[in-house]
Structure 1
Amino acid sequence: MSLLSFRVEQGDISRGCGFRSCCWTISRAVISSGILFRKKNQVKKGCSSVNDDLFVITDAPIHPEEVSAKVESRDAGAVTIFCGTVREWTKGRRTLYLEYQAYESMAVKKLAEIGGQVQDKWPAAKVAITHRVGRLEISDLAVVIAVSSPHRKAAYEANEYVIEQIKKVVPIWKKEHWEDGEQWIGDQLQQVEYPDGKPMKGSGTDD
């Protein structure tokens, strides 16, 4: 069985926040073939915090196939994988690298809450989220979201819902390192800057 015999759809569902993204829909037949996923249920956690292994903050490189393996299901007819990657140019400024920090325990809690919201809105869907922190180079993966569902529409909708909620409520901050300067950025959706330097732990979050 050849991987090339299956159709993979790709599209951009991101907004401008320092990384570019792609989204794949992969049929359950591809997952079951074992061609795409080398080892099932084996995840490199680095120094990650894990909630039932589905919601992870890590300083290690992210492997999309390992995140997707967490949502495998015999009932799934579609799996969407969102990959947010570090892009080189943002609003005409060249990025050298990004530095992510998180209020780790709260970030994992918020990711789990988003997962619960997905269950409420799309009861048959299953979601796994891994977000990386630390220094990320151009094209590194910053976040990977995998959603499985019996039908592709729900998988697409749930995945887009997750990334939008991450930008709104999860306490993760990034420092843009440009050719001509650097700046901490807070709210990922509104691109709130911290002119006085690094954001404080717990800024913009519910304790």
Structure 2
Amino acid sequence: MELLEKETVSFYLRHDWTPFHYVFLKEEKYSGINSHQEAVLEFLNCSNRFRECLRLMWSDRNPMKIDHEAYARKFHELNEEKINYTDIRFFDKMKEYPIYVNKEMMRAKRITPESFWAEDGIYRTSFLDAPQGAAGTEEEFNQLNDRLFPDKDHLHIYLWNNEFTNYYNNGRYWDGAYVWSVYDEKRKRFTVFDAILILD
């Protein structure tokens, strides 16, 4: 599995107004749920790196003026920034960073494309009704998904639980935390993303 770093960082910087963060991965040797789990773990590795980049680059400067090229360079330099594996089974009292994960607690359920894009589905409502003021329009939602998933007939989609890590503590406390892994078998590509719905 290969992180598509340039595409991931570029997408993150251009779409930071949405309630989602996306990571893109190339996977030539797809092995079902095991590949999905590996993709989610790589997503959390990237989340650790995104967070550390912001911490290092914001300092006292206006975060809206971060230089995108400098950010991409810093993200690349932080390729050793990894999540921590643990056997801890209760994360609610921990801070969100650094990220800890208990792999034994990871659970997922496969969902159909129809339920994934359903009008009352979690994904769509998270985008349209984001409580932190990042809500988008129906048109923006459709445009984004047409770009991310151009061939919706070849997707394998899993929705993961959020209890296996401290990273989703705030979402569990507020309006929810969700993470999806979507494999496009035609393009041999993973799109992994989450929504942490909290009130600012």
| TM-score normalised according to structure 1 size | 0.28
Report the structure, 1 or 2, having the larger helix content.
2
| TM-score normalised according to structure 2 size | 0.28
Structure having greater relative contact order (Cα 8 Å, sep ≥ 6): 2
